Structure 1
Amino acid sequence: MKNIVIVGGGAGGLELATFLGDKMGVKSRANVTLIDKNSTHLWKPLLHEVATGALDDGSDALSYRAHARNHGFYFEQGAIVRINREQKYVELAPVYGLEGDMIVVARRIPYDYLVLAIGSKSNDFGTKGVEEHCIFLDSQEQALRFHHKMLELFLKFSENSALDEIGEEESKQKLVQEGKVNIAIVGGGATGVELCAELYHAAQDLSSYGYGKIDSHCLQVTLVEAGPRLLPALPERVSSSVLAHLQELGAQVKLNTQITEAEANKLHTKNGEIIEADLIVWAAGVRASSVTQQFDGLELNRINQIHVKDTLQTTVDESIFALGDCAFLLQENGKPVPPRAQAAHQMAKLCYKNIVALFDNKPLKKFVYNDKGSLVSLSKFTALGNIGKDDKSMVIEGKLARMAYISLYRMHHHALHGCLKTGVLILIRHINRFIKPALKLH
């Protein structure tokens, strides 16, 4: 029986493992194995909500092992370190426990067909000090680290404010004079913009949970973007509207501002300005992991993405596929397929069809990206974006945009669980709104 190995349990990788497990694994046509360094899956576009506590990762995270059992595939935990194309195996690093002891040794997983879906990570562009002094939001672990630091900052601020000794209006004036919780976000793309809005939402809710009289006046978010506008992938009308909304919330947005160095609680800009912050998040640009350089001669671009043909097979090895953020494919318009969740979703569907076609000795299909538009959520305040593409796109805002934004997550649930279980998950989430705090506080 042939082995199909999928490396990376993000949106595309997990959906593909589910499709192939249901089609090939359950019917014993192939052994399907999913590999990921983590034990649980969380939809990456929602990491900013995990970071602020708006989303409880404990409730929304999906166990790879449990899902594998339900859908006819195997799961191996570990980080890929290299590929041997001649002998057809992937090598995994050991897995270490919380105390630093090795709990799973290094392994070699054989494959007949290999799919690389390892996603992307933030690109620091080699900026000095960023890796040491900034938090990235590329994983659940990093989002939780930000969450704990954010709660510590607000707790420290509320304890030092001595609000009980003075009146409410006087308190607000005193807070402005003494300072605020200062958070800097570098990168005006979707992650930076959505995190900025969620932070102001969190600040409004914290006073309900014993953090004193904290509100949005106690928070100062500085959003730094090197380009001339926010959300460059969206229409300018949407960018301008998002800018206005963030400024109305109280955010300080700095456009055309390039960061040259990061220090502890401090950012240096190209024009000599210093931006001080209690917490710094780096959300500027994306690149694939440098581990792709150990993938035995696969063709890479300058940000370590893997070149693929329109069948999603790599350019130098037809038994290896790549999809999602780590794949580089030029469209007919000369632009690369963008690193978005909807692209990974579409690629997973086609990759599934092409692998099944290989087993059935049928011709492979070509991938054509269908851009359905882009949406951003500004927390509970509003949502904005465009539906469609090019001159046929329609700008939407408010409740309609919010519903469309949520539907993207529901599409991911549907791909993993089907209609019935997705409906149950939606019901459970509505119930949790009544029995759980509005924010995760631990």
Structure 2
Amino acid sequence: MHRFIIVGGGAGGLELATRLGDRYASPSSRHPAKAQVTLVDRYPTHIWKPLLHEVAAGSMDPFTQELEYAAQARWHGFEFQQGELAGIDRAAKRITLSAVLDDDGAELLPPRDLEYDTLIIAIGSTTAFFGVTGAPEYSLALDTVGQAERFRKRLIAACMRAEHQVHERVESGPGTSPSTEPRIQVAIVGGGATGVELSAELRNTAQVLSAYGLHKLDPRHDVGIVLIEAGPRILPALQERVSTATAELLTRLGVKVMIGETVAEVAPGIVRTASGKTIRADLTVWAAGIKAPPILGELDGLPVNRLGQLAVRRTLQTETDDNIFALGDCAACAWPGNERNVPPRAQAAHQQASFLMKSFAARLENRPLPEFTYRDFGSLVSLGHFSAVGNLMGGVIGGNMLIEGLFARFMYMSLYRLHIAALHGYPRMVLDTFAHWLRRSTLPRVKLH
């Protein structure tokens, strides 16, 4: 049987593995299995990456949204192998996975080799620190659930410490005037979608933590949020009117927006900019950009671009090997009619996964492969329960329209529901939506521990 290996269980990789498993690897009484499908990922569970800012803010419990790869494999006929891609032998059509270690450093699984006929690389992206001094050591990225949970716990701890310090100051007696500075300040470097969404979610988190008594700080005055963007406006990838509307909403929420400020150094408790400004930061989040994982530049002669992405043709095949495909953030795919490549968005990965299903049907029948064309349906940015903003493109409405408020929030939430439907089908998606509503009606809005 034809052997498909998909490396990376993100939005595109997991959707592709699920659909390939359903179509080719699940035998039935009338149709025997035609292919062996294997999904590889370094983690045992999947979570939709655009949700990580909600995990960091505590407004989403990751353990209720994670999907175990082994369970998905069992339900949809493919195989799951845990491990991190360590190398490719293109001549032998073989990949090598590194050993899997437990939390104590003991080996769970040894290094392994897997053979393929068609290899699909979908390992996504990672945070780019751009060589800024101290950024990797003293700021937190939001690439994984573990990183998001770490930030959330540090935020709660900072609130509790600040509240205790205020209590001690009051007990020491009068004589000190109240400070005009926030007791806690969170600096978010990067005014893209992740930074903007996190800043709004954190404002809501501060209010909820205060309401539940975890601290007695003023959630607006005592918890400061600073959003730092090097460019002339936030959300530079979106239209200027969307950026302007978002900046106005954030200002009303008490988020300080600093534009045109390039971060030059991150140190314990402070962020310094190239213009000489020093910003106090009890917690610093780095959301200033992404890059391809370094392993892509070490793969047996596969060319990469200056961002480290695999160079692919319009068929999504790599330029030097017809048996290796790439999709999602790790692929540099041309976008005809545009100066830039297909953008690193979840909707692009979803479209590419759907496209590859057609391509692989042609490949198994020895027919010519089609060429991928990206359709931009617009972009949406969530501002928590306060609002949402975005723009819908011509493929949806026949024009270009700015949307915000309740309708934009509904559209934003629908994106995740469509991802769930791609993995489980629409009936289970409806049940999952109902279960999510029940949890939100019986649990606090923010995870409190």
TM-score (normalised: structure 2): 0.94
Report the Cα distance in structure 1 between the residues aligned to 2:169 and 2:187, rounded to whole angstroms: 29
- Runs of 4+ aligned residues of structure 1 deviating over 6 Å after TM superposition are 163-166
1:24-423 map, 5 Å: 24-27=24-27, 28-162=33-167, 176-177=179-180, 179-214=182-217, 215-333=219-337, 334-389=339-394, 392-423=399-430
Whichever residue aligns with residue 73 of structure 1, its letter is F
Task: Give the deviation of 1:98 after TM superposition.
Answer: 1.2
Task: Give the deviation of 1:389 after TM superposition.
Answer: 4.8
Whichever residue aligns with residue 289 of structure 1, its letter is P
* Structure 2 partner of 1:6: 6
Report the Cα distance in structure 2 between the residues aligned to 1:151 and 1:82, rounded to whole angstroms: 40
Q: Tell which deviates more after alignment, 273-282 or 214-223.
A: 214-223
Report the Cα distance in structure 2 between the residues aligned to 1:283 and 1:332, rounded to whole angstroms: 28
Q: 1:207-231: per-residue Cα shift (whole Å, max 9, x none)?
A: 2322133322221111110100010
Report the Cα distance in structure 1 between the residues aligned to 2:72 and 2:354, rounded to whole angstroms: 18
Task: Check conservation: 2:159, 2:215, Cα contact below 8 A.
Answer: no
Task: Check conservation: 1:175, 1:218, Cα contact below 8 A.
Answer: no
Report the Cα distance in structure 2 between the residues aligned to 1:175 and 1:282, rounded to whole angstroms: 31
Report the Cα distance in structure 1 between the residues aligned to 2:250 and 2:168, rounded to whole angstroms: 27
Task: Give the deviation of 1:362 after TM superposition.
Answer: 2.4
Task: Give the deviation of 1:165 after TM superposition.
Answer: 6.4
Task: Give the deviation of 1:62 after TM superposition.
Answer: 0.5
* Structure 1 partner of 2:22: 22
Aligned length, in residue pairs: 437
Q: 1:84-112: per-residue Cα shift (whole Å, max 9, x none)?
A: 11111111111111111111111111111
Report the Cα distance in structure 1 between the residues aligned to 2:124 and 2:442, rounded to whole angstroms: 35
* Structure 1 partner of 2:30: none
Name the SS of the counterpart of 2:148 in structure 1.
helix
Q: Tell which deviates more after alignment, 45-54 or 326-335.
A: 326-335
| 1:271 to 1:165, Cα distance in 2 relative to 1, 3 A | closer
| 1:236 to 1:389, Cα distance in 2 relative to 1, 3 A | farther
Report the Cα distance in structure 1 between the residues aligned to 2:281 and 2:36, rounded to whole angstroms: 50
Report the Cα distance in structure 1 between the residues aligned to 2:280 and 2:300, rounded to whole angstroms: 44
Task: Give the deviation of 1:68 after TM superposition.
Answer: 0.6
Name the SS of the counterpart of 2:438 in structure 1.
helix
* Structure 1 partner of 2:447: 440
| 1:64 to 1:381, Cα distance in 2 relative to 1, 3 A | same
Name the SS of the counterpart of 1:91 in structure 2.
strand
Name the SS of the counterpart of 1:318 in structure 2.
strand
CA RMSD of aligned residues (A): 1.8
Name the SS of the counterpart of 1:262 in structure 2.
strand
Task: Give the deviation of 1:261 after TM superposition.
Answer: 1.5
Q: 1:391-414: per-residue Cα shift (whole Å, max 9, x none)?
A: 921100100000000111011011
| 1:322 to 1:205, Cα distance in 2 relative to 1, 3 A | same
Name the SS of the counterpart of 1:411 in structure 2.
helix
Report the Cα distance in structure 1 between the residues aligned to 2:342 and 2:46, rounded to whole angstroms: 24
Name the SS of the counterpart of 1:377 in structure 2.
strand
TM-score (normalised: structure 1): 0.96
Report the Cα distance in structure 2 between the residues aligned to 1:164 and 1:426, rounded to whole angstroms: 47
Q: 1:306-362: per-residue Cα shift (whole Å, max 9, x none)?
A: 011111111110100000000001111232100000000000111122112211222
Task: Give the deviation of 1:163 after TM superposition.
Answer: 9.2
| 1:397 to 1:178, Cα distance in 2 relative to 1, 3 A | closer
| 1:367 to 1:218, Cα distance in 2 relative to 1, 3 A | same
Task: Check conservation: 1:330, 1:337, Cα contact below 8 A.
Answer: yes
| 1:178 to 1:162, Cα distance in 2 relative to 1, 3 A | farther
Task: Check conservation: 1:203, 1:218, Cα contact below 8 A.
Answer: no
Structure 2: 5+ residue runs without aligned partners? 28-32
Task: Check conservation: 2:390, 2:403, Cα contact below 8 A.
Answer: yes
Task: Give the deviation of 1:418 after TM superposition.
Answer: 0.4
Task: Check conservation: 2:208, 2:445, Cα contact below 8 A.
Answer: yes
Report the Cα distance in structure 1 between the residues aligned to 2:8 and 2:278, rounded to whole angstroms: 39
Task: Check conservation: 2:380, 2:408, Cα contact below 8 A.
Answer: yes
Report the Cα distance in structure 2 between the residues aligned to 1:174 and 1:279, rounded to whole angstroms: 25
Task: Give the deviation of 1:288 after TM superposition.
Answer: 0.4
Whichever residue aligns with residue 41 of structure 1, its letter is H
Name the SS of the counterpart of 1:407 in structure 2.
helix
Task: Give the deviation of 1:176 after TM superposition.
Answer: 4.3
Report the Cα distance in structure 2 between the residues aligned to 1:175 and 1:183, rounded to whole angstroms: 20
Name the SS of the counterpart of 2:425 in structure 1.
helix
Task: Give the deviation of 1:202 after TM superposition.
Answer: 0.2
